[in-house]
Amino acid sequence: MGLRNVVVKDKRFDRENELQEIRRKSAGLSTRDAQAIHDAVPGVERVVAKIEVEAWKVLSPGGRAKPRVLGVSSDYPTLVKLTLREGRFFDRTDEDTHAAVCVIGDRVRRDLFGFEPALGRPLKVNDQWLTVVGVLESGGGKREIQGVTLEGTANDIYLPVTAAERRFGRAPLKAPLDELVVSMAPGTPVQESARSCRRCSTAFTAAPPTTRSRCPRRSSSRAAAPSASSTSSWGRSPASRSSWAGSGS
């Protein structure tokens, strides 16, 4: 089976003054990019957003943990094949309402709740209380699925990406999102679609609203490759620098 994902990561910069200059022109990778790509690029099945929350305190009434805390889209389990031991993963309604719910890995469950039930119990990340709605099956270590690298999930906490955006602060110069994973339908030319995703995001985030129509539309039977001028512009423009990795079809 070929790989069918395009991974979009917000670019990191070593020099703060360079990042400040870029942020004057673009907020960076955001849910608007996700929606633009979903609406415009042919062959897109789903666009999954991800944020890593800077967690400096995670506790429950009976324990403490040091997990990785991630805000993700509600269809994240479909992309990375997460398996639940009990409960449920949060759904689109939770995402739309910025619900204070979470799904936890097996190690987090042990650290915070011991041998007691975890479902429906509260836990606190930084200053925000979340309710456990699901517990993941104990899994293996780091693995790769359809070109997406997945760390072991035992020490993870997942919450809706919208809740992560709204409830947890980000450093002023950080982009709203850390990563997008664009999942393409079987048979879609992924490398060509990656170029179209890049062109679409560049037009959407870097250009004034009156010029956003340059983003390719789904009405095309195939994703349009960027012109020579747009490819060159991508290489020079600091306002839209993201790190793109297209998995081979």
Q: Name residues whose C-beta falls within 8 Å of residue 142's C-beta, 6 or more positions apart in sequence.
A: 149, 150, 151, 152
User: Comparing 53 with 196, which gets the higher pLDDT?
Assistant: 53
Higher-confidence residue: 214 or 120?
Answer: 120
- Contact call for residues 147 and 7 (beta carbons, < 8 A): yes
Helix (H) or strand (E) holding 238: none
pTM: 0.73
One-letter-per-residue 3-state SS of 17-83: HHHHHHHCCCCCCCHHHHHHHHHHCCCEEEEEEEEEECCCCEEECCEEECCEEEEECCCHHHHHCCC
For residue range 43-76, list pLDDT tens digits in order: 888 899 999 999 999 999 999 999 999 999 999 9
Residue 142 scores a pLDDT above 90: no
User: Which one has a higher pLDDT value, 30 or 240?
Assistant: 30
* pLDDT score at 202: 54
Distance from C-alpha of 26 to C-alpha of 13, rounded to nearest angstrom: 14
pLDDT at 205: 46
- Note the pLDDT of residue 192: 75
